[in-house]
A = this chain, B = another copy of it.
Amino acid sequence: MRTINYGKAISEAMHEEMLRDESVFILGEDMGVMGSVFGLTRGFMAEFGADRVIDTPISENGFVGMAVGAAIRGLRPVVELMYVDFAPLALDQIANQAAKMRYMTGGKVKVPLVVRAPGGAGRRNAAQHSQSLDALFTHIPGLKVVAPATPFDAKGLLKSAIRDDDPVVFLEHKFCYAMQGEVPEEEYVVPLGKADIKRPGRDVTIVAWSRQVIFALEAAKTLAAEGIEAEVVDIRSLVPLDFETISASVRKTHKVVVVHEAIKRGGYGAEIAAQIMEELFDWLDAPVKRVAGLNVVIPFSPALEDAVFPHVPEIVAGVKEVVR
Contact = CB atoms under 8 A, between A and B. Distances in A.
A92 interface: yes
Interface string A243-270: 0000000000000000000110111111
Among the interface residues A92, A127, A139, A289, which one has the most CB atoms of the partner chain B within 10 A? A139
B263 A297 contact: no
B274 A139 contact: no
B128 A100 contact: yes
A136 interface: yes
Contacts of A281: 286-287
A128 B278 contact: no
B278 A274 contact: no
Interface residues of A, number: 48
Contact of A270 (B88, B96, B126, B274): B274
Interface string A288-323: 111000011101000000000000000000000000
Copies held by the complex: 2
Interface string A173-212: 0000000000000000000000000000000000000000
A61 interface: yes
A269 B265 contact: no
Among the interface residues A86, A141, A290, which one has the most CB atoms of the partner chain B within 10 A? A141
Contact of A273 (B136, B268, B277): B277
Contacts of A265: 138-139, 141, 239, 271
A162 interface: no
A99 interface: yes
Interface of A: 61, 85-86, 88-89, 91-92, 94-96, 99-100, 103-104, 126-128, 135-136, 138-139, 141-142, 239, 262-263, 265-271, 273-274, 277-279, 281, 286-290, 295-297, 299
Given A103-B297, A269-B274, A274-B288, 20 more contacts: A61-B89, A88-B91, A88-B92, A89-B91, A96-B128, A103-B127, A135-B135, A135-B139, A139-B262, A139-B263, A139-B265, A139-B266, A139-B267, A141-B263, A266-B266, A266-B271, A270-B274, A273-B273, A273-B277, A279-B287
